[in-house]
């Protein structure tokens, strides 16, 4: 078995198709999963990771396999999505190669592909798939591509969810440090170095271990994370209600905080609308405006909608024929 630093290469990724690679990823928590498990990934929920790793039978029974696969498309539409996904992956690989080459030109450090999924016996629940190893150092390189909107953040530091990914990779691989090279808006390459931090690594891996043992292997749902995925799963599990009452013994501070959050949302929404109105006053009849690097549009749009009130009055039998009933549980405090 090949090795990379302290890790074994358990799956060779070179020339493997996407389906095989995705299936192999189910055997552990990957670097791109780590921040989601910790609830610190703004783009992906812990519930999404749970569904991917388990294919929970209860959820499949409630929602069908399309929910697990994040798709209920027809075969024709699915083929279109596959082509788009394959193109994105191909483009991603090309940009990754470009970023890696630019990193070498800027730093003089040589890098090479590892082409494998890594696992360390110390953390059997964790796997890693690093972008490049750095020749002559116990280090790896992560290649990122982001938009110019994230320029200020990336110039300051590596975003927290990517930091967690890198610490996860350091834990599994045994690397002492890593480099993160980000191509920002096709205009600038920024490079950061992260050094191994045992305290941070221990905290991340402890939380991952708990998630793997309790949720993936133990069948417990992850803690609520505010995601749409989580709400859909709860609606599926408990879609049939019974008209009975229940006394909750939770601390009332939960509802007090709920009230505080609702008040903050109302205040922030009012402030958001005030800013929008101020800008609209400046734009007047103009459809497009620019403020710094930001583009603002205020365009006239037309929308056609069905006059359901008139339809019910004039053709009630047609309305009844095409009426569809859906059920859900409405939550109110």
pTM: 0.79
We report the CATH number of the domain holding residue 117 as: 3.90.320.10
Please check the confidence at residue 50 and state whether its pLDDT lies above 70: yes
Same domain, 75 and 195: yes
- 159-189 pLDDT, tens digit per residue, is 999 999 999 999 999 999 999 999 998 889 9
Same domain, 249 and 125: no
Same domain, 135 and 277: no
- 10-25 pLDDT, tens digit per residue, is 999 888 877 787 788 8
Same domain, 205 and 274: no
User: By mean pLDDT, which of 39-43, 87-91, 217-221, 227-231 is the weakest?
Assistant: 87-91
Closest CA to 275 of 302, 261, 296, 293: 296
Name the phi and psi angles at 237, rounded to 5. Answer: -65, -40
Structure tokens at 108: 């003089």
Q: What percent of the chain has pLDDT over 70?
A: 89
Same domain, 53 and 163: yes
Domain region containing 33: 3-217
Same domain, 114 and 254: no
Same domain, 124 and 172: yes
Same domain, 278 and 207: no
Residue 285 counted as domain residue: yes
- 256-310 pLDDT, tens digit per residue, is 999 999 999 999 999 999 999 999 999 999 999 999 888 999 999 999 999 989 9
Same domain, 34 and 76: yes
Residue 323 counted as domain residue: no
Please check the confidence at residue 85 and state whether its pLDDT lies above 60: no
Same domain, 179 and 265: no
Tell me what pLDDT residue 78 has: 41
| pLDDT class of 327 with cuts at 50, 70, 90 | confident
| pLDDT class of 84 with cuts at 50, 70, 90 | low
What gap in Å lies between CA 205 and CA 213, rounded to an integer?
Answer: 12
Contact call for residues 99 and 107 (beta carbons, < 8 A): no
Helices (H), the chain: 18-24, 31-37, 46-54, 57-63, 65-68, 75-107, 151-156, 160-173, 198-210, 228-237, 253-283, 308-314, 316-321
Name the phi and psi angles at 15, rounded to 5. Answer: 65, 15
Same domain, 109 and 165: yes
């Amino acid at each position: 078995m090949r090795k990379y630093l302290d890790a074994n290469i358990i799956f060779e990724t070179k020339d493997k198709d996407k389906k095989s690679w995705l299936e192999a990823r189910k055997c552990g928590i990957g670097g791109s999963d780590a921040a989601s498990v910790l609830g610190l990934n703004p783009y992906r929920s812990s519930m999404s990771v749970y569904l991917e790793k388990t294919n929970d039978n209860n959820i499949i029974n409630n929602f069908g396999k399309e929910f697990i696969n994040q798709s209920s498309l027809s075969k024709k539409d699915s083929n279109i999505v596959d082509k788009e996904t394959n193109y994105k992956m191909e483009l991603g690989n090309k940009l990754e190669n470009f970023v890696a080459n630019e990193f070498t030109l800027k730093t003089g450090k040589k890098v090479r592909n590892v082409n494998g999924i890594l696992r360390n016996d110390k953390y059997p629940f964790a796997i890693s798939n690093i972008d490049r190893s750095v020749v002559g150092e116990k280090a790896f390189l992560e290649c990122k591509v982001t938009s110019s909107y994230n320029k200020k953040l990336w110039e300051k530091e590596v975003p927290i969810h990517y930091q967690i990914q890198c610490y996860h990779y350091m834990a599994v691989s045994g690397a002492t440090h890593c480099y993160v090279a980000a191509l920002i808006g096709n205009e600038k390459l920024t490079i950061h170095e992260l050094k191994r931090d045992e305290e941070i690594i221990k905290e991340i891996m402890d939380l991952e271990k708990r998630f793997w043992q309790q949720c993936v292997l133990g069948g417990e749902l992850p803690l609520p994370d505010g995601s749409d995925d989580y709400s859909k799963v709860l609606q599926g599990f408990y879609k049939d209600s019974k008209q009975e009452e229940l006394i909750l013994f939770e601390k009332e501070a939960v509802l007090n905080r709920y009230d505080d959050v609702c008040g903050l949302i109302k205040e922030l929404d009012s402030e958001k609308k005030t800013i929008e109105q101020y800008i609209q006053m400046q734009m007047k009849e103009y459809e497009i405006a620019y403020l710094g690097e930001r583009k603002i549009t205020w365009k006239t749009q037309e929308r056609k909608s069905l006059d359901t009130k008139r339809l019910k009055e004039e053709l009630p039998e047609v309305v009844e024929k095409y009426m569809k009933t859906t059920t859900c549980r409405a939550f109110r405090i």
